[in-house]
Amino acid sequence: MPVDFGSLGPHDVLHVTPRYLAGPGEPGTATALAWPFLREGTWALHNPPQGYLLAASPCQRVKAGFTAGGPCGGSGHWATAFYGDPFALPVWCATWGTGTPVELIGAFHRDLAEEYTAGNLDALDPAANPAAGYLPLLNTGWAHQVDFHGDQMFTAPDQRASLLRFHQAQRGEQWKVTAGATGDSADWTAAFTARVPARLVAAFTTALAADAPLTRTVEQLPLAHRPYLTAEPATTSAGPAAAAASRTSAVAAAPPVPGAATRPASRVRR
């Protein structure tokens, strides 16, 4: 339902949808939500004085990092890479802008941690069933366009988020997710290189399109997104303590099933 934000205090807690417009969330809990593998207790975490974060699996073949921005500017990003050999170039990389809701990043890393713990990362074939990466979007009503190059664009019903799967010379099939208050600008983006297993992409897109709301305080909601959010009060009265207790949101997960028709388009934008 529409919310009169003028009548709310900055610490009032809301359940909001769509998820991709909810903002990144509470900075104090971002690392725990985005990197659930840290709960294993065996992954290394490095937090140097410069302010960025680095994490690595015990075998050093999975590495993740976060930077809020550099000395030359920029808005910073999250990044994760998988290596066949820890001293070689990565097999695949995934990146997210700092505006990405951390619960969505956490969904990707939750499946990554499960596969790592089971010893399955090497066995995940990036070419196997790539449609699994976008079926969660088709199953929740996202539009599908295909251009004459074979590039595919999936667009949310409100036109404020999209997934582009496209071919890039020398690099193969790439994934790019964009979300923002207007169709002409992105408030955050996510990208997955060609060899990111579709199962991990599916974990992200399932969380992206899920109907379950995310929990945010009013002050955590981007001003530009508020007119396009549907929100319900999470509690009748919320001070800072109640807000802190409500900041962790569960990531909904549902297995994708085939469905939804597609329609052709003249050209998909990159």
Per-residue pLDDT tens over the stretch 31-53: 999 999 999 899 999 988 877 89
Distance CA 255, CA 60 (A): 30
Question: Can you give the pLDDT at residue 74?
Answer: 54
Could you check whether the bond before residue 258 is cis, i.e. omega within 30 degrees of 0? no
Residue 62 CB partners (closer than 8 Å, separation 6+): 56, 80, 81, 82, 83, 112, 116, 121
* Confidence bin at 78 (pLDDT 50/70/90): very high
Question: Can you give the pLDDT at residue 160?
Answer: 95
Exposure string over 240-263, b if 16+ CB within 10 A, otherwise e: eebbbebbbbebbeeebeeeeeee
Lowest mean pLDDT among 120-129, 247-256, 260-269: 247-256
What residues does 215 pair with on adjacent strands?
Answer: 15
Percent of the chain exceeding pLDDT 70 equals: 80
Q: Give the position of tokens 């990159």.
A: 270
Domain ranges of the chain: 5-264
Determine the number of helices (DSSP H) and then strands (DSSP E) in the chain.
5, 14
Question: Can you give the pLDDT at residue 246?
Answer: 39
Per-residue pLDDT tens over the stretch 52-70: 899 999 999 999 999 876 5
Residue 259 pLDDT greater than 70, yes or no = no
Exposure string over 128-167, b if 16+ CB within 10 A, otherwise e: eebebbbbbbbbbebbbbebeeebbbbbbeeebbbbbbbe
Question: For the CA atoms of 151, 155, 160, 166, what is the dihedral angle to 10 degrees?
Answer: -20
Q: Where are the alpha helices (DSSP H) in the chain?
A: 30-34, 102-117, 135-138, 198-209, 240-245
- Quick one: which of 130, 216, 228, 137 has its CA closest to 177? 137
Per-residue pLDDT tens over the stretch 99-109: 999 999 999 99
Distance CA 166, CA 149 (A): 9
Higher-confidence position of 194 and 248: 194
Pairing of strands 143-146, 263-264: parallel
* Confidence bin at 231 (pLDDT 50/70/90): very high
> For residue 167, what is the DSSP state?
E
